[in-house]
């Protein structure tokens, strides 16, 4: 059998791409698991992007209209009248996208693992049976530890971090996410509390399980109220190339993930549109160029991460003072974009008073971010 495009990996990126391509190409998706979902992921997705990308309404569990930011000794709130982000059910998200793709003509090979390429064909394993599928074009959408990336010799210098997340029963403000930045608890990343509803939240961080446990104790969430535990990993940096000959990488396989927040679903979907455009024009080599905005966001995120890693908690307290001011909150509430952190940073740095205060904390903050 031969397809125009064989997508390896049926996560959000692979299934979304299958949807986009299925009307114009013969498409197959190979997924190693027997069912969708199960990945460690809080499932927070910017509401505007969610609607713009046409992601499935039925996967939305909760709508968030604000965030409360906590440092060691301060807190401030950013609130809007309308939902800014959704919390989604990953299984429903992935399965609904796959169902849509099948209805458009895509074929799925579940419980089928990609092993490598041989003589231009994909070598696969399905329940102990070896099979080969040929395609004109292959896409590695197989996540952060991508086998396809290894098969095409893609290289990376990224920072890889483990992520830990629990679902815990408690009492939560239903439409606000909590963001805790406290290096005494975790010096590698922030901690988040994302409510699924008023009585259940997804609580997580990147770094170590000890950091998550310290945070749960500080936030007074009982270990015995945890009803789900998941671990996974993320990669912040570049894995290149994104396209080599007739193989492209997409989603986490290409490390299309925000180094600021570890959100990757939106970037993978945006790059799926870019890949469709490149394939339709017959110039797959243009794919990377067409992902220009995502690349800018990743570059900014990497600079932001460098600044964050270089800061001590005292600096973070000073930054909180600036960001918690009425002026900064008004800018964030009026202009911040959940998926465009470059725009948010520019809006803040355009204010002379805020800029001066940030330079006073550390000139390198501004130098790195601009
Ligand atoms: C703790 C944590 C919290 C996160 N929270 C968020 C969040 O709130 N919002 C957000 O946007 N992102 C979040 N992310 C990131 C997000 O999970 C990823 O960016 C997203 O899952 C990437 O989708 P993907 O389809 O590229 O890869 P994946 O979701 O990893 O999917 C890859 C698929 O490929 C399959 N596969 C792998 N190898 C093979 C193979 N050899 N053969 C066949 N199939 C294979 C896998 O089974 C899987 O189904 C979080 C990540 C972590 C670790």
Instruction: List pLDDT tens digits, range 158-182.
Output: 999 999 999 999 999 999 999 999 9
Q: Is residue 71 part of a domain?
A: no
Whichever domain contains 39, its CATH number is 3.50.50.60
Q: Is residue 64 part of a domain?
A: no
**CB-CB contact of 89 with 43 (8 Å):** yes
Answer whether 232 contacts ligand 1 (Cβ < 6 A): yes
pLDDT band at 361 (very low <50, low <70, confident <90, very high): confident
Domain shared by 263 and 126, yes or no: yes
Asked whether the predicted pLDDT for residue 370 surpasses 80, the reply is: no
Asked whether the predicted pLDDT for residue 63 surpasses 80, the reply is: yes
Q: Is residue 319 part of a domain?
A: yes
3-class SS at 171?
coil
SS3 content of the chain, % helix, strand, coil (to 5): 40, 30, 30
Whose C-alpha lies nearest to ligand 1, atom 30? 143
The residue whose CB lies within 8 Å of the most ligand 1 atoms, and thus the one to mutate among 19, 33, 130, 252, is 252
Q: Is residue 248 part of a domain?
A: yes
Domain shared by 345 and 278, yes or no: no
| Residues 6 or more apart in contact with residue 360 via CB below 8 angstroms | none
The residue whose CB lies within 8 Å of the most ligand 1 atoms, and thus the one to mutate among 15, 30, 32, 41, is 41
In the prediction, which pLDDT does 274 show?
98
Whose C-alpha lies nearest to ligand 1, atom 39? 142
Report the C-alpha gap between 310 and 369 in whole angstroms.
13
Answer whether 259 contacts ligand 1 (Cβ < 6 A): no
Q: Is residue 123 part of a domain?
A: yes
Asked whether the predicted pLDDT for residue 231 surpasses 80, the reply is: yes
DSSP string, 270-306: HHHHHHHHHHHTT-GGGHHHHTHHHHHHHHHHHHHHH
Whose C-alpha lies nearest to ligand 1, atom 19? 264
Query: For all residues of the chain together, what is the average pLDDT?
Result: 96
Domain shared by 268 and 319, yes or no: no
Domain shared by 216 and 350, yes or no: no
Percent over 70 (pLDDT), the chain: 100
Answer whether 46 contacts ligand 1 (Cβ < 6 A): no
Percent over 90 (pLDDT), the chain: 89
Burial (CB < 10 A; 0-12, 13-18, 19+), residue 190, is: buried
Give the distance (Å) from ligand 1 centre to CA of residue 290: 22
Answer whether 301 contacts ligand 1 (Cβ < 6 A): no
In the prediction, which pLDDT does 365 show?
78
The residue whose CB lies within 8 Å of the most ligand 1 atoms, and thus the one to mutate among 43, 112, 163, 265, is 265
Q: Is residue 83 part of a domain?
A: no
Of 95, 80, 19, 16, whose CA–CA distance to 46 is shortest? 80
Over range 276-302, report the average pLDDT. Answer: 97
Domain shared by 109 and 229, yes or no: no
Report the C-alpha gap between 139 and 106 in whole angstroms.
14
Domain shared by 43 and 10, yes or no: yes
Task: Look up residue 234 and give its two tokens.
Answer: 């993320």
Domain shared by 164 and 154, yes or no: no
Strand 85-88 versus strand 44-46 pairing type: antiparallel
Give the distance (Å) from ligand 1 centre to CA of residue 233: 9
- For 37, left (φ over 0), alpha (ψ -120 to 50), or beta? left
Report the length, in residues, of the chain. 370
Domain shared by 41 and 176, yes or no: no
Q: Which of 206, 233, 260 represents a domain boundary (last residue)?
A: 233
Domain shared by 261 and 312, yes or no: no
Task: Look up residue 306 and give its two tokens.
Answer: 């460098």
Number of domains in the chain: 3
Domain shared by 99 and 248, yes or no: yes
Whose C-alpha lies nearest to ligand 1, atom 50? 41
Q: Which of 215, 233, 251 represents a domain boundary (last residue)?
A: 233
Domain shared by 55 and 129, yes or no: yes
Q: What is the pLDDT of residues 78-114, one digit of tens each?
A: 999 999 999 999 999 999 999 999 999 999 999 999 9
Residue 34 domain boundaries: 2-59+88-158+236-299
Domain shared by 317 and 351, yes or no: yes
Report the C-alpha gap between 305 and 208 in whole angstroms.
17
Give the distance (Å) from ligand 1 centre to CA of residue 148: 14
Could you list the beta-strand ranges (E) of the chain.
2-8, 27-30, 44-46, 60-64, 66-70, 75-79, 85-88, 107-109, 112-118, 121-126, 129-140, 155-156, 159-169, 176-180, 191-197, 200-206, 226-236, 239-240, 243-244, 247-249
Report the C-alpha gap between 332 and 78 in whole angstroms.
7
In the prediction, which pLDDT does 169 show?
98
The structure tokens 């600036």 sit at 322
Whichever domain contains 173, its CATH number is 3.30.9.10
Answer whether 8 contacts ligand 1 (Cβ < 6 A): yes
Whose C-alpha lies nearest to ligand 1, atom 12? 263
Q: Is residue 72 part of a domain?
A: no
Whose C-alpha lies nearest to ligand 1, atom 16? 264
Report the interhelical angle of 341-349 vs 326-335 (nearest 10°).
140
Q: Is residue 226 part of a domain?
A: yes
Q: Which of 217, 233, 249 represents a domain boundary (last residue)?
A: 233
């Amino acid at each position: 059998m031969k397809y125009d495009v064989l997508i390896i990996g049926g996560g959000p990126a692979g299934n979304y791409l299958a949807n986009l391509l299925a009307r114009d190409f013969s498409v197959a998706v190979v997924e190693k698991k027997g069912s969708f979902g199960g990945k460690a992921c809080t499932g927070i997705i910017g509401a505007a992007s969610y609607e713009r990308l046409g992601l499935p309404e039925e996967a939305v569990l909760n709508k968030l209209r604000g965030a409360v930011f906590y440092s060691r000794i301060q807190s401030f709130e950013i609130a809007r009248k309308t939902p800014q982000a959704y919390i989604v059910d990953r299984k429903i998200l992935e399965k609904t996208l796959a169902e849509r793709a099948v209805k458009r003509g895509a074929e799925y090979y579940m419980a089928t693992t990609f092993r490598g390429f041989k003589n231009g064909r994909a070598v696969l394993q399905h329940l102990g049976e070896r099979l080969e599928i040929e395609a004109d074009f292959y896409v590695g959408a197989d996540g952060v530890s991508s086998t396809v990336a290894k098969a095409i010799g893609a290289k990376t210098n990224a920072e890889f971090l483990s992520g830990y997340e629990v679902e815990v029963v408690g009492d939560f403000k239903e439409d606000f996410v909590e963001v805790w930045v406290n290096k005494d608890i975790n010096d590698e990343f922030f901690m988040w509390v994302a409510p699924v509803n008023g009585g259940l939240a997804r609580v997580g961080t990147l770094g170590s399980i000890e950091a998550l446990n310290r945070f749960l104790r500080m936030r007074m969430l009982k270990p015995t109220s945890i009803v789900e535990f998941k671990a996974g990993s993320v990669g912040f940096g570049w894995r290149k190339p994104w396209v080599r000959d007739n193989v492209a990488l997409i989603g986490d396989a290409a490390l299309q993930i925000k180094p600021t927040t570890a959100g990757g679903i939106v970037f993978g979907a945006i790059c799926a549109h870019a890949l469709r455009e490149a394939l339709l024009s017959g110039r797959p080599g243009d794919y990377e160029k067409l992902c220009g905005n995502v690349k800018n966001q990743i570059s900014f995120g990497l600079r932001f991460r460098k600044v964050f890693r270089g800061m001590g908690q005292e600096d973070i307290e000073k930054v909180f003072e600036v960001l918690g001011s009425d002026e900064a909150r008004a800018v964030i509430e009026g202009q911040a974009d959940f998926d465009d952190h470059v725009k948010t940073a520019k809006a803040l740095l355009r204010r002379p008073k805020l800029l001066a205060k940030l330079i006073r904390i550390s000139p390198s903050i501004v130098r790195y971010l601009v």
